[in-house]
Structure 1
């Protein structure tokens, strides 16, 4: 078996993993990033999760920067993003469209610049531990088995795979029945007449989300739409949802549709996932046919892209040293060990019903994510970033969003670098040193 060695090993090449690996690499530590697909970007690329939302509070104050903002700035230079734009759905203040193919290339470039070794087409299937310390992970690859040894490990798999296989306690779903938020197969359509869509919204406001900025739509570029309530209700499709949701771009006649809903299946169970993929793709055809037949502006539209896999909102999360609570989010709680902030509201897609439960952040519109949420119990040399940090089911409904994942990923990678250089466990590093390095790296902690 081939053996590789690194100082820091990051598992999962989504936005959290990319940012964690860049931060770790910039610390000077030998860093390896492992990804199962032949490209990086995680849900943002494999599942077409688009746009990124949000870097700002409901009042428009930016609370997430750092490596995440570096990526946006460089995408803008490549004509791969317009930057942060107003959300014409009205759910948040801003959203950030991006071109997924350009993001794949840019992220790869930034990893190389940071000295990170990238292993694609590599599936982690075993974790070897001794006395609560991870020694190595085993990969299955096209060229055979590879054992990767490291000093500090970072789990950015989204599903807490590394933590789970290492024996760290994990939780899943809501209290009582363990059901998770539904999965969604996302797809793109081209040939959409967006000016016709906008005109219909302005003339029929009762059919759209109440927070849509109707008074500003004449001046704003259309970035997203939530509604067509009457059309959806009359169609009575067998999908447990009550409206159409789509976002515009990257092309001028293109939208990303976020409407399918697959409920009651476990995203960590291979048979459940297989069923979800089948159901999701059938729903894509159903929704696309409905849209072209019924929605103004979609008469000439057609499917141009479907996710390589179904989008997953929630699976396992670690049971960490602290679990972020819904009250922490809603009340905009501050923590002494803050390592990231977010202004995204609690946004729970009902695990069994039709609706979405939302709760906005009070106070200045942002809440803190404490460092303890990145630290699993019982494993000494492991950090976690992204969707599977330690939260309740309700709080996960905000921390799961990509900009928040980017921020916790950067924090995990930075902390891993400090732990390695200091020769201590991640739980024992100096929080003030971590916070200073994050601020130096552009993060917002106040």
Structure 2
């Protein structure tokens, strides 16, 4: 007979969205469980080395994401594990936020414990019990056997909409037509990098770097990221379908995180495709690292870390009560049921080609994410947060970023807490009450 754990709120997926959802749910007073398949917290931010977090601000520098996400940054700064929000010297966004992943792993656990959350690591959800359009329990495979976790409200922060999919809620994947998704990337770190030499080369050869690089300010800014080395990349002619090098500095003074590999055409929800992606990604890491050693400033550099898994930008997403569109993003649309905002542009990595399609946010530089995007169809006691909320393929290219996921996670956890408190389904909570809770907890909704 399976072991049974009872809770008010069950959060599945321990990435940035899940951490913030569980903290918010726990703080509401509800008995909360967070389930994570790895032996550590952080999701793509730690398992796949997604770094830095970008962005908490608009292109003009107005902060639009705070709340629990900002609490995490503040506490990391107190622990000397983040410099806070820095100017993006790539020039793509206004700010990026470096952090030390190993410290984040432990800080997240500390904050979950402070909120009274029960954490279950090494636990894989492979079955969902549904009755009358409501999830009754999720079933885990673990080292200690099968476990049933029963709850009143469930929050899916798996990134892949696993809980929604297993429960029978309608989901979509990829773009319309061929259903292809944005490419995967195996990220890795290098140490022994001479960042002063990198910056000097940028100043001496601005034509080899991204056109929005803030060269006029670069001498006085800490180097936080670099996109370019166009000539070197073209001459190397590596069998990787992109057109430049991209890396970010830190967390150590001689260290960078390289975001340059690209694995296309594979399905992140198919185990055989994922197996192939891991192989291809790691082969590309070795190839790119050898190339990087030919760049000015990288002569003595070496690989210091590779992701525990390949980074996944897109898989399944729910069909919700509303589907956020790219037009909503670029027009900076406002919604009455706003529960989060974002200033990150549409940043769509083509599923087949080299290019990245970018569309900037108009108006005040931010757009609203409505509560209805967190509510799947059919399943009445389920909320989604993170990159599997209800969006189009194009709009997902902005909502998938970690700070946005943190914000929707906090909203989902707070909404779940209200649903339990009021004994109603998540779709029936008072949106003004939810917004008041979020604002009181530091979220920015205007």
Matches within 5 A, 1:15-34: 15-34=16-35
Partner of 1:233: 234
Q: CA deviation at 1:235?
A: 0.5
**1:341-378 deviation line (CA, Å, top 9, x unaligned):** 00000000111000111011001000000000000000
> 2-side partners of 1:20 and 1:381: how far apart?
15
Q: Deviations over 1:251-295 (max 9, x none)?
A: 000000000000000000000000000000000000000110x20
Q: Secondary structure at the match of 2:65?
A: coil
Superposition map of 1:25-424 within 5 A: 25-292=26-293, 294-424=294-424
SS at match of 1:394: coil
Give the distance between the partners of 1:103 and 1:120, measured in 2 at CA.
16
Cα deviation digits, residues 309-335 of structure 1 (max 9, x gap):
000000000000000000000000000
SS in 2 for 1:278: helix
Aligned residue in 2 for 1:3: 4
Deviations 1:56-80 (A, max 9, x none): 0000000000000000000000000
Distance 1:11 1:218 in 2: 45
Aligned length: 445
SS of residue paired to 1:369? strand
In 2: Cα distance, 1:333 partner to 1:315 partner: 25
TM-fit CA distance, 1:86: 0.1
Deviation at 1:8, TM superposition (A): 0.2
- Give, in angstroms, the shift of residue 187 of structure 1: 0.1
Tell me which stretches of 4 or more aligned residues in structure 1 moved more than 6 Å.
Answer: none
Separation in structure 2 between the aligned mates of residue 415 and residue 291 of structure 1, nearest angstrom: 46
Distance of 2:201 and 2:438 partners within structure 1 = 46
Q: Distance in 2 between the 1:322 and 1:259 partners?
A: 34
Once residues 365 and 210 of structure 1 are traced to their aligned partners in structure 2, the CA distance between those partners, rounded to angstroms, is 20
Query: How far does the alpha carbon of each residue in 1:215-255 deviate from its partner, in whole angstroms, 9 at most, with x for none?
Result: 11100010000000000000000000000000000000000
Q: TM-score, normalised by structure 2?
A: 1.00
Q: Distance in 2 between matches of 1:49 and 1:226?
A: 16
| Residue in 1 that maps onto 2:438 | 438
Counterparts of 1:342 and 1:133 in 2: how far apart (Å)? Answer: 31
- CA offset at residue 82 of structure 1? 0.1
What SS is found at the alignment partner of 1:226?
strand
How far does the alpha carbon of each residue in 1:203-225 deviate from its partner, in whole angstroms, 9 at most, with x for none?
A: 00000000000111100010000
The Cα RMSD (Å) is 0.3
| 3-state SS of 1:215 partner | coil
Q: CA deviation at 1:147?
A: 0.3
1:110-155 Cα offsets, whole Å, 9 max, x none, are 0000000000000000000001000000000000000000000000
TM-score (norm 1): 1.00
Gaps of 5+ in 2: none
Q: Distance in 2 between matches of 1:360 and 1:41?
A: 28
In structure 2, the residue matched to 1:13 is: 14
SS in 2 for 1:168: coil
Q: CA deviation at 1:176?
A: 1.1
Separation in structure 1 between the aligned mates of residue 179 and residue 197 of structure 2, nearest angstrom: 43
Q: 1:362-410, CA deviations, whole angstroms, 9 ceiling, x for partnerless residues? A: 0100000000000000000000000100000000000000000000000
Q: Distance in 2 between matches of 1:229 and 1:72?
A: 33
